[in-house]
């Protein structure tokens, strides 16, 4: 943990980014676009003005909260691929709490209750795979993945039923959450709200949970060697159960943060929002080494890349799937170098 | 143990090399980017003027052709414009997106303005950062092709008072209906449209063409504009052929559900329908495929399918929306400075909505349809709707259709 160690770590990661970027630019070059413009946009655009920086932290907020939950799961050796579904159900429950309780409860307590509702929604959606995994030893990856599809159907049903707005002019939309129940804006004329600070608080909670508590130690030992953990008296199934529930709650909480801080309304396109964040968060958690602090940095890296990529798509007009290919190249080379590095150091 | 040591040795070297590579690449890209982005790009307009003079003298004809090419930077107010088109899907749908795409391309050729197109932004909230980014870059006109962009446009428009947000399938009266208390921004140019008139004509052809007396119609989400089109279609069928029965399907919440639309059309054919019509967007693609495979008649909305796909034999026709007329009017209003609170309704009488008939529709049917079309144009034939049926479709007076024809 010396200075030279950090220097080497930074040098290696920077080199990996350069290699990945070159590979990605090779793909862009094949399509015939201007690669110098593409690369400079990808790198400089996210910091070019306040709006882009704010957009970056909109992505950061959602990605980071979801990835913290997934990271805890990875530590225990369970893979929660169900974040998109938990994100959706959390958002739906947030909306339902607002819709049904707003005549009875004043704004401030209700706002807190909505956040709790979001976490509870994600938790409920993770309950099914958690029971299957810990009681029957079923594969949580398959169950969580398939429940994502079910969650989309639940969203469609809810938009036509319980959360359908009174003001939707015949369209399947929810009502807009009024200003009093929103998370206030952090930068004017942007979509960034104080949910960023709440997200950072969540990261701190996850750090304490994973590194400073008895439960964190149990999670780590179950992940390293379940048999040894069982022999030393840890209830493996119960630990996995709790871990999956926490991961679900984090994803659901991210849903309510996004709904109350950024979008304020749900429509059929909300399913796509959940998918955008939920699947990328898996890569974020992996790149961050499943460590709460690592995830903090990998979320910044990923949101930087996503905003750079969106700008790149706008400026050189390449198809969006290509953008994912460029980001993918960087991710592969980073993961590879990280592996080599971990073995060496 | 020795293996691990050797890995470490390589990795240190690799790290050093990579660090150098990273520095060189980073500095190089940075320098090039600064150089490349430094100067603002000039917009040049090239105009070619061809003049031909023919003189006929005693027994001889002399033709003189002169070609002059004029190039000058930033020539007209039109060529200085920057225009963005936001599409929910992409132009390959030969329908809603295609019609808008063709319209802006036509105007781009005419005026030479700078054009950007953003595709696959189905969701209004997803499109918001894109619209804001272009507006900040000084784009003058931002076209959102669909009602999903309406709330977003009215929300961000006050930040960019000099940018015109052109919202298709939107109306100022709907802004409050979507969000109580929401303000109508003056720099959103709203364009409303009617699908009823075209739906009526297509329904009429369908009623004439069917032999099994069963007709299918498949639509996207059950929203007011699509619903009007369907009800008018049923009215058209009833007018042409009182014995015909209409099978109707809406795809839940999705205008891009090609596979679902195809399946719905196939099940209608299986139930005996020999006409399956589509009412727009990706739905058209699925229904056209199903109709081609099972050899039944079909029709589409928005783009001119008889011109785009002359290979389709059993094509009744398309309801064509000439968005270029609409966009042109809005752009001219923008140049004149009379565009604030702009509102325009696309109807048949305004020339924006037309009908394009398939080549194999019998001549007598074509003649009948054209006479109905003329009646709509002249205003003698009007179609209205009982809007209470939208929420309560099972009321007896809503069967078989909630559309009412006046002056038939």
pLDDT in tens, B63-102: 444 454 444 445 678 888 999 999 988 888 888 999 999 9
B174 contacts in chain A (CB < 8 Å): 169
Separation between Cα atoms, residue B47 and residue B45, nearest integer Å: 6
pLDDT 10s digits, B115-143: 999 988 888 888 999 999 999 989 999 99
- Predicted ipTM > 0.85: no
Please, which pLDDT band fits residue B12 given cuts at 50, 70 and 90? low
A342/B contact by beta carbon, under 8 A: no
Measured CA angle at A321 (ends A318, A325), to 5 deg: 100
pLDDT of residue A8: 75
Higher pLDDT: B15 or A3? It is A3
Question: How close does chain A come to B94, measured CA to CA in Å?
Answer: 19
pLDDT at B20 over 80: no
pLDDT of residue B25: 63
pLDDT 10s digits, A236-256: 999 999 999 999 999 999 999
Pinpoint the alpha helices (H) of A259-319. 270-287, 292-316
pLDDT of residue B56: 43
Separation between Cα atoms, residue A158 and residue A173, nearest integer Å: 10
pLDDT of residue B58: 42
Spell out the residues 6+ positions from residue B127 whose beta carbon is closer than 8 angstroms to its own.
B86, B118, B121, B144, B148, B149, B152
pLDDT of residue A48: 87
For chain B, percent of residues with pLDDT exceeding 90? 51
pTM, two decimal places: 0.76
Residue that the structure tokens 């977003």 belong to: B152
Please, which pLDDT band fits residue A24 given cuts at 50, 70 and 90? confident
Separation between Cα atoms, residue B368 and residue B240, nearest integer Å: 10
pLDDT 10s digits, A260-274: 999 998 988 888 899
* A246 close to A238: Cβ distance less than 8 angstroms: no
pLDDT of residue A170: 65
Mean pLDDT value across residues A95-108: 94
User: Which residue from A minimizes the CA distance to B4?
Assistant: A344
Tokens of B258: 């090609």
Mean pLDDT value across residues A203-226: 94
User: Which residue from A minimizes the CA distance to B156?
Assistant: A189
CB contact (8 A) between residue B126 and residue A37: no
B346: left (phi over 0), alpha (psi -120 to 50) or beta: beta
Question: How close does chain A come to B397, measured CA to CA in Å?
Answer: 20
pLDDT 10s digits, B332-359: 999 998 888 889 888 898 889 999 999 9
Could you tell me the residue ranges of all domains in chain B? 82-193, 196-320+362-406
Backbone dihedral angles phi then psi of residue B167, each to the nearest 5 degrees: -110, 115
Separation between Cα atoms, residue B185 and residue B180, nearest integer Å: 14
In the CATH scheme, what is the code of domain B82-193? 3.40.50.2300
Q: Which of A236-245, B18-27, B309-318, B398-407 has the least mean pLDDT?
A: B18-27
Please, which pLDDT band fits residue B48 given cuts at 50, 70 and 90? very low
Please, which pLDDT band fits residue B330 given cuts at 50, 70 and 90? very high
Task: Say which CATH topology domain B196-320+362-406 has.
Answer: Rossmann fold (3.40.50)
Please, which pLDDT band fits residue B18 given cuts at 50, 70 and 90? low
A173/B contact by beta carbon, under 8 A: yes
Q: Identify the CA nearest to A252 among candidates A131, A64, A128, A84.
A: A84
Could you tell me the residue ranges of all domains in chain A? 62-294
* B97 close to B91: Cβ distance less than 8 angstroms: yes
Residue that the structure tokens 């008889």 belong to: B306
For chain A, percent of residues with pLDDT exceeding 90? 60
Tokens of A82: 């169900």
Mutate to test the interface with B, among A154, A307, A344, A345 (most CBs of B within 10 A): A344
CB contact (8 A) between residue B21 and residue A18: yes
pLDDT at B31 over 90: no
B159 contacts in chain A (CB < 8 Å): 189
Mean pLDDT value across residues B32-44: 41
For chain B, percent of residues with pLDDT exceeding 70? 81
């Amino acid at each position: 943990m010396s200075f030279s160690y950090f220097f080497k770590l930074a040098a290696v990661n920077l080199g990996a980014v350069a290699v990945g970027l070159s590979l990605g630019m090779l793909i862009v070059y094949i399509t015939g676009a201007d690669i110098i413009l593409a690369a400079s946009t990808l790198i400089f655009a996210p910091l070019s003005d306040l709006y882009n920086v704010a957009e970056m932290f909109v992505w950061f907020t959602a990605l980071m909260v979801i990835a913290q939950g997934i990271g805890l799961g990875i530590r225990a050796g369970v893979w929660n691929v169900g974040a998109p579904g938990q994100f959706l159900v959390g958002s739906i429950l947030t909306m339902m709490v607002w819709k049904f309780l707003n005549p009875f409860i004043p704004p401030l307590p209700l706002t807190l209750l909505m956040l709790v509702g979001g976490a509870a929604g994600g938790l409920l959606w993770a309950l099914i795979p958690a029971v299957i995994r810990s009681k029957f030893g079923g594969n949580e990856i398959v169950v969580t993945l398939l429940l994502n599809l079910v969650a989309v159907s639940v969203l469609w049903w809810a938009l036509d039923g319980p959360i359908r707005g009174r003001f939707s002019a015949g369209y399947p939309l929810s009502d807009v959450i009024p200003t009093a129940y929103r998370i206030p804006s952090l930068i004017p004329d942007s979509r960034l709200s104080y949910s960023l600070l709440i997200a950072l608080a969540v990261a701190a909670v996850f750090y304490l949970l994973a590194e400073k508590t008895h439960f964190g130690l149990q999670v780590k030992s179950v992940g390293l060697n379940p048999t040894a953990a069982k022999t030393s008296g840890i209830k493996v199934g119960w630990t996995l159960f709790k871990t999956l529930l926490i991961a679900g709650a984090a994803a659901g909480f991210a849903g309510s943060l996004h709904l109350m801080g950024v979008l304020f309304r749900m429509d059929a396109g909300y399913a796509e929002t959940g998918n955008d964040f939920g699947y990328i968060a898996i890569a974020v958690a992996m790149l961050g080494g499943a460590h709460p602090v690592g995830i903090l940095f990998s979320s910044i890296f990923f949101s930087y890349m996503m905003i750079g990529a969106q700008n790149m798509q706008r400026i050189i007009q390449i198809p969006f799937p290509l953008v994912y290919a460029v980001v993918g190249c960087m991710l592969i080379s980073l993961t590879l170098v990280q592996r080599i590095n971990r073995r060496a150091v | 143990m020795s293996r691990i040591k050797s890995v470490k040795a390589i990795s240190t070297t690799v790290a050093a090399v990579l660090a150098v590579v990273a520095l060189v690449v980073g500095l190089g890209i940075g320098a090039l980017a600064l150089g490349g982005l430094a100067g603002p790009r000039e917009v040049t307009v090239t105009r070619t003027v061809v003049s031909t003079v023919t003189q006929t003298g005693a027994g001889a004809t002399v033709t003189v052709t002169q070609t002059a090419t004029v190039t000058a930077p930033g020539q007209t107010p039109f060529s200085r414009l920057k225009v963005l088109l936001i599409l929910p899907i992409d132009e390959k749908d030969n329908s809603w997106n295609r019609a808008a795409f063709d319209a802006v391309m036509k105007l781009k050729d005419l005026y030479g303005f700078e054009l950007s197109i953003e595709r696959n932004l189905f969701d209004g909230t997803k499109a918001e950062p894109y619209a804001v980014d272009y507006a900040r870059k000084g784009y003058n006109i931002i076209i959102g092709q669909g009602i999903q962009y309406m709330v977003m446009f009215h929300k961000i428009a006050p930040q960019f008072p000099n940018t015109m947000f052109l919202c298709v399938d939107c109306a100022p009266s709907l802004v409050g209906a979507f969000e109580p208390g929401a303000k109508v921004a003056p720099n959103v140019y709203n364009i409303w449209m009617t699908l009823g008139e075209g739906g009526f004509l297509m329904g009429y052809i369908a009623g004439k063409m069917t032999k099994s007396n069963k007709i299918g119609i498949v639509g996207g989400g059950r929203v007011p504009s699509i619903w009007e089109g369907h009800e008018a279609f049923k009215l058209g069928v009833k007018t042409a052929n009182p014995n015909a029965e209409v099978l109707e399907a809406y795809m839940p919440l999705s205008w891009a559900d090609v596979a679902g639309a195809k399946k719905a059309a196939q099940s209608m054919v299986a139930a005996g329908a020999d006409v399956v019509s589509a009412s727009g967007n990706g739905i058209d693609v699925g229904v056209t495929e199903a109709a081609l495979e099972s050899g039944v008649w079909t029709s589409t909305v928005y783009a001119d399918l008889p011109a785009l796909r002359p290979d389709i034999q059993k094509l009744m026709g398309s309801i064509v929306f000439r968005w270029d007329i609409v966009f042109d009017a809005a752009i001219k209003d923008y140049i004149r400075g009379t565009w604030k609170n702009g509102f325009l309704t696309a109807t048949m009488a305004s020339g924006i909505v037309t009908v394009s008939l398939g080549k194999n529709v019998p001549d007598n049917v074509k003649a009948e349809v054209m006479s109905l079309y003329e009646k709509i144009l002249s205003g003698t034939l009007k179609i209205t709707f009982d809007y209470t049926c939208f929420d309560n479709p099972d009321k007896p007076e809503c069967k078989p259709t909630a559309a009412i024809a006046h002056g038939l």
